[in-house]
Amino acid sequence: MSGATALTGHPGKPGADRDFTDTVVGFARTLRHAGVPAGHERVQAMLAALAHLDVLAADQVYWAGRLTLCSDPEDLPRYDAAFALYFSARGAGPGRPASNPPRVLRAAPFELDPDAAAEQREENSPTFSVQASRHEVLRHKDVSVLDRDEREQLQRLFALLAPRVTGRRTQRYEPAGRGRIDLAATVRRMLRQGGEAARLSRRRHRYRPRRLVLLIDVSGSMAPYADSLLRFAHAATRCRPAGTETFTVGTRLTRITRELRLRDPDAALAAAGRAVPDWSGGTRLGDVLKAFLDLWGQRGVARGAVVVLCSDGWERGDPAELGQQLARLARLAHRLVWVNPHKGRDGFAPATGGMLAALPHIDNLVAGHSFAALEQLAEVIAHA
């Protein structure tokens, strides 16, 4: 353990309480800039945790923060990076090196707040210099400055879309006119009526909508459609926030479910735009689908769900790999719907390598190139 004076500004003066709190609060601020939602309550928890630990041991400070401020595996690399940055800048050795420095690139965290970025640049830390080359490395499409005039009319229509998903029988019951006898309700009724079983209460299984999973290709060839597909995803998320999961696929997989939960469609799309690092890049559908299945799908996100994959099937990788992954996905999902905007064009034949590999595994192939086509997609989902 590198016996660092991590938390106290004055070495050997552990009683400096105010200093100690300031340090933790400052660290939480850095962490928020890095994209970890470490709120006030979590900071309180970290301070409480430190009360039980040795604040002079960098390792224990590391764990106190990690256990209380993080809440997601995605937070961990950001936390490691922020911890290394913050405490090394304060002249104390970090408890441990950032476990996986290259992943910081992917999170691209410090760019979210220009002021914080400037601060950190002044400190000239090596961690930051890696991220500074954002323009060369990752092409962000600037969704936040969308040309509103052109699309305003159409965008208002998206608010009317309410893609709903069919139900699935659950283990839970609801009262019903016929079905099996509901013992609990019957007894309750008996008690009300002085112990006489005048009428039996019955119950039946309740139906719940299936989960909807949207995988949206944001590669260059799909760029003209990405905006409307994301708006569709936002409409679905608005409809059922807990039951909708959205991911973008391209050269990598990005989960944008959280971003799309913002109520305002423009704010949600702008947030999604910032989260997605591979706008208008290439497509490695097979690999990215594999990443989706490994990280999310197989664990349960895709199980029994209605999965909608929006792509034109221009696959840069191996179509055989794509076929394999789609077979996996089809086994997990209740229904697999492929949205190909080119299907709306005259003379469309599913001829791209990716499409040919996909055909045996998909249940529906729909167009989705216009608003009307998206309404049709909502229909398909509703009856999947």
Q: Kindly list the residues in this chain that would bind other proteins in the complex (CB under 8 A).
A: 37, 39, 41-42, 45, 48-49, 52-53, 59-60, 63-64, 66-68, 70-73, 76, 170-172, 183-184, 186-187, 190-191, 194-195, 208, 242, 257, 294, 298-301, 303, 328
Q: Which amino acid is at 293?
A: L
Looking at the Cβ atoms of 83 and 314, the one nearer to other proteins is 83
CB of residue 242 to other proteins, shortest distance in Å: 5
CB of residue 70 to other proteins, shortest distance in Å: 6
- For 153-179, letters b (16+ CB in 10 Å) and e give eebeebeebebebeebeeeebeeeeee
CB of residue 122 to other proteins, shortest distance in Å: 32
Looking at the Cβ atoms of 264 and 294, the one nearer to other proteins is 294
Looking at the Cβ atoms of 76 and 262, the one nearer to other proteins is 76
CB of residue 14 to other proteins, shortest distance in Å: 16
Strand 167-176 relative to strand 202-209, pairing: antiparallel
- Angle at 52 (CA atoms; ends 46, 55), nearest 5 degrees: 70
Cα–Cα distances (Å) from 206 to 8, 162, 183, 210, in that order, read 57, 22, 17, 13
Looking at the Cβ atoms of 211 and 342, the one nearer to other proteins is 211
Looking at the Cβ atoms of 13 and 188, the one nearer to other proteins is 188
Question: Measuring CA to CA, which residue among 121, 125, 81 is closest to residue 100?
Answer: 81
CB of residue 327 to other proteins, shortest distance in Å: 10
Distance, in Å, from the CA atom of 353 to the CA atom of 380, rounded to the nearest integer, reads 25
CB of residue 273 to other proteins, shortest distance in Å: 21
User: CB of 79 within 8 A of CB of 66?
Assistant: yes
Distance, in Å, from the CA atom of 322 to the CA atom of 284, rounded to the nearest integer, reads 9
Residue tagged 């069919």 (tokens): 166
Strand 212-217 relative to strand 306-310, pairing: parallel
CB of residue 74 to other proteins, shortest distance in Å: 10
**Could you tell me the strand order of the sheet in which 180-181 lies?**
167-176, 202-209, 180-181
Distance, in Å, from the CA atom of 76 to the CA atom of 66, rounded to the nearest integer, reads 8
Looking at the Cβ atoms of 20 and 158, the one nearer to other proteins is 20
Looking at the Cβ atoms of 129 and 170, the one nearer to other proteins is 170
